[in-house]
Amino acid sequence: MRDFPQITTEQRCLSCKACCRFDDKKSIWRPRVATCEEIFSQEQDSIDSSGYIHAETHTHCISCVFLNICDNRCSVYALRPLECRMYPFLLFWSEGQIAVGVHLSCPYVQEEENSHFFKEKTQDVRDFCSAGEFMAFVQAHREMVSDYSQYMNEIKILFTVPL
């Protein structure tokens, strides 16, 4: 599958301390990995039986096992799963349809949601999600479509994905 469009700059991402951190080790916000993704075969010990990446406890936070909390870098960045590449965009079920939304907890989204640049990036995401390769991936791995129904106050629905 072609790579997901970069949403923000590396510098901006590395300066943020929001994503890849969770309230608890079993958080629904932990990324999921599809069995066909390269990271699945290379990092199986770091992925639970439901496909979620493990989280680890640090002094002041709980984070993804692949996040170096000292420099905010991902140790598997080149292999990171689709769900990580998509963030702050989310793939989830909404009224029986597959939807793409944006996580309103992301500081970047909070600052840029109404900007022209963000609207352009949203169109890039829509184009990515309408490509045949992406749709085939989602049809083959429906477990990658999350149920965020209890968290809809944290998500803004952008569009649905026609399958």
Last residue of a domain, one of 35, 57, 83: 83
pLDDT band at 119 (very low <50, low <70, confident <90, very high): very high
CA distances to 1, 134, 137 from 128, rounded to whole Å, are 10, 7, 12
Q: pLDDT tens-digit profile of 66-88? A: 999 999 999 999 999 999 999 99
Q: CB under 8 Å to 65, separation ≥6 — which residues?
A: 46, 53, 54, 55, 56
Six token digits for residue 19: 């994503």
Mark whether 69 and 95 lie in a shared domain.
no
pLDDT band at 12 (very low <50, low <70, confident <90, very high): confident
Amino acid identity of 6?
A: Q
Nearest to 67 by CA among 77, 78, 82: 77
Give the residue numbers spanning the domain of 100. 1-7+87-163
Last residue of a domain, one of 83, 104, 133: 83
Nearest to 7 by CA among 120, 97, 104: 120
Q: How far apart are CA 65 and CA 95, in angstroms?
A: 33
pLDDT band at 6 (very low <50, low <70, confident <90, very high): confident
Q: pLDDT tens-digit profile of 54-65? A: 999 999 999 999
Within-domain flag for 15: no
Is there a contact between 17 and 72 (Cβ–Cβ < 8 Å)?
Answer: yes
Mark whether 139 and 100 lie in a shared domain.
yes
